[in-house]
A and B are shown apart, each in its own frame.
Chain A
Amino acid sequence: MSLNVRLSTAIALGKTAATLSRVLRRGGGTTMPGRVARAVEPNVVGLLARRLRGGTVLVAGTNGKTTTAHLIAHIMRAEGRRVVHNRAGANLAAGIASALVEHADLRGEPAGDLGIFEVDEATVPRVVPALAPRVAVFTNLFRDQLDRYGEIDYISGLWRAAGARLPAGFVRVANADDPLVYDAVREMPGTLVTYGLDDGRHALPALEHTAEARYCYRCGTPYEYAVTYFGHMGRYRCPTCGVARPDPDLVAREIELAGPDGAAFTVDAGPAGRARVTTRLPGLYNVYNILAAVGAALQLGAPLARAADAVGSFLPAFGRAERMTLDGREVQILLVKNPAGFNEVLRTILAGGPLPVVLIAINDLIADGRDVSWLWDVDFEMLAGRAARVVAGGLRAEDLAVRLEYAGIPAAAIEVERSYGAALDRALAHTTSRLFILPTYTAMLAIRAVLERRGVVGRFWE
């Protein structure tokens, strides 16, 4: 088969797989088309990605990939660009291939001019040669799914290796406040654009238990932190080898957090100007996501003022602080994946005062991480005395209940309910104004499926 025939066959079969997957209700068809297409044409990603005239953007990191990629797509659409995006969050090679196949015609012509792909941390080296990204965003590195990856150092090592394969002239947009990220990207070739926070009012009194980077990667000396925001994000410095948080190119200042309802802050982008951002995305972690997205958008030609405006009209991605109304009560789903993010979510939902009930659902499927020991690194102690009741759901509801009891929540205030629908009903029964649901990834999909059956939300791939 000639190259073109093979590519066309790959696309046709991939599209058929997508249709079948949806007709048969086997999910959103977010990975099967890619698998099929890659079986026919292994380089389908490379062949389709290089036809995107505006190039591709890669978003990698432990937390914030989906939100950051959605933000970049939203900003660039407002700029009139047509975006090809793995929006359902399928971020392994097959998911990226699926998005490309779905947005191409049978000749391989893309229905877009800019590719935006969130990429699983460990998949970065495998897709970098094919995607040849123009901009690569590195958000943060946290302990996540150790059963799958082994160790954080392994991931940062993969990124270092991938950096050597990035095309000449590419720009990396990286979190200056995360020493693990900065250390992984700072010696890659190409231009480095960094972002970070500068608002001491939001600093924590001390480095959190969830901080991953207490010791300098280079020399093993404990970092000195002048300011910490959460986890190991902050203004760090190694007193021995001198590695220190760089002065970021994009800085968030005058940050006002509105609990779970959103935030406002000023982006100072130096020569690119300053702009006030108002967003429905809550929490400091989303301030980082927005800085990353704006940083990438500037590199893609969006002016700062318009990028900031676009952020203001952005609605949260599925399960990421997504809000809906059910039986007259408000429901907000905040995905939890790892201790640092979980702590930020807890701080965010508690910002408005004590809560009558919280629903937390912990699963241990592969996409959640099979090892739930991370629950003991989450500061559930924050909930003691501030959440009158916790409904513990998911496959590991009982393990969560054990953890909650040790966190000081009375056993009588903990309801174990593994069924998603029943857990939702039990929590709603105690809800006065807004129910916060804190699920791991597959629990989030399952709870959204319940909400979808009740007609509250659309399907996650739509």
Chain B
Amino acid sequence: MMPADRPAADSPATMKSNPVLRICHLYPDLLNLYGDRGNIMVLAGRARRRGIEVTVTEAGLDDEIRPDGADLFFVGGGEDRQQRIAVGDLVGRKRGPLEAAVADGAVVLAVCGGYQLLGKFYRPAEGDDLPGLALLDLWTEHAGPSAPRLIGNLVIQPDGGEPPLVGFENHGGRTFLGPGARPLGRVVVGFGNNGTDHTEGAVAGRVYGTYLHGPLLPKNPAFADRLIREALSRRYPETALAPLPDTFEAQAREAMLTRLGARIP
């Protein structure tokens, strides 16, 4: 990790002092295709506006990460070439610490290419399957040279009555969930995981993967707060998040939902 990381967080399970949200951005200069840094800005910005201290560390190729070094790990998307560069390091060097962090209650959010890397494997058009992190029970297949990319505005309805998530998708790979992962939501407008089964994204515990970018979090503030709450609860079970006005956010969501005819009661 970069030296910006806080000194050893010898965190007891519960801390009463002022809470600190510790974010680790994986491969920020490699997997950053669709304004992905916006997700980090939103997590940090929303926490700071509640008076919560935030540290963001960046972990690139060859950087070591520690399971207790962050409470939220983020992986963005990249072009095929960048993903090929990242995957070896991710699986070879970072899998163990990430698995341990997840087992200890850390949150992982992965978008687009990062989402695919969290699965069990990627099946290219030709050749052997490429192993992934297997933090989520899913796999992704190359759809063949003539298959179109799945591109467009995307709205999904999460289970459990949470507000719909609004964003954009652009992916060639088709992702299929195994029994160990739930979808993040059902497709209302767009393609989702594979364009056929109406699922989008995947969740297992506190590990989240999705094709939603735009980026994901700026226009989905309730979901951003859920991630912040879960990440903080690893060390500060009592932290409450005061509401924020989210005026422009609400207008932006409303504008897109109206345009897409996706008004959800």
Contact = CB atoms under 8 A, between A and B. Distances in A.
Given A147-B170, A398-B252, A401-B251, A373 B85 contact: no
Interface in B130-181: 149, 151-153, 168, 170, 172
Interface string A426-444: 0000000000000000000
Contact of A215 (B34, B41, B85, B248): B85
Interface of B: 29-30, 32-38, 41-42, 45, 79-82, 84-85, 149, 151-153, 168, 170, 172, 213-215, 218-219, 245, 247-249, 251-252, 255
Contact of A370 (B149, B168, B218): B168
B251 A398 contact: yes
A402 B252 contact: yes
A300 B251 CA distance: 53
A402 B213 CA distance: 15
B215 A373 contact: yes
Interface stretch (A55-63, A195-203, A374-382): A374-382
26 contacts: A146-B34, A150-B172, A151-B79, A151-B80, A152-B79, A153-B81, A211-B29, A215-B81, A217-B81, A370-B152, A371-B168, A371-B170, A371-B214, A373-B34, A373-B214, A373-B215, A376-B36, A377-B32, A377-B37, A396-B252, A398-B251, A401-B251, A401-B252, A402-B248, A403-B218, A416-B248
B41 A376 contact: yes
Contacts of B82: 215
Nearest to A374: B35
Interface of A: 143, 146-147, 150-153, 209, 211, 214-215, 217, 220, 370-377, 396, 398-399, 401-403, 405-406, 411, 414, 416
A215 B30 contact: yes
B33 A209 contact: no
A414 B168 contact: no
Contacts of A215: 30, 81-82, 85
A398 B214 CA distance: 13
Contacts of B168: 147, 370-373
A401 B248 contact: yes
Contacts of A403: 38, 218
Contacts of A376: 35-38, 41, 215, 218
A402 B36 CA distance: 15
B45 A406 contact: yes
B16 to A, nearest CB: 30
A259 to B, nearest CB: 28
A232 B151 CA distance: 27
Contacts of A406: 38, 41-42, 45, 218
A153 B172 CA distance: 14
A233 B229 CA distance: 41
Contacts of A211: 29
Contacts of A398: 248, 251-252, 255
Nearest to B168: A371
A211 B32 CA distance: 11
Contacts of A414: 248
A370 B152 CA distance: 7
A147 B171 CA distance: 9
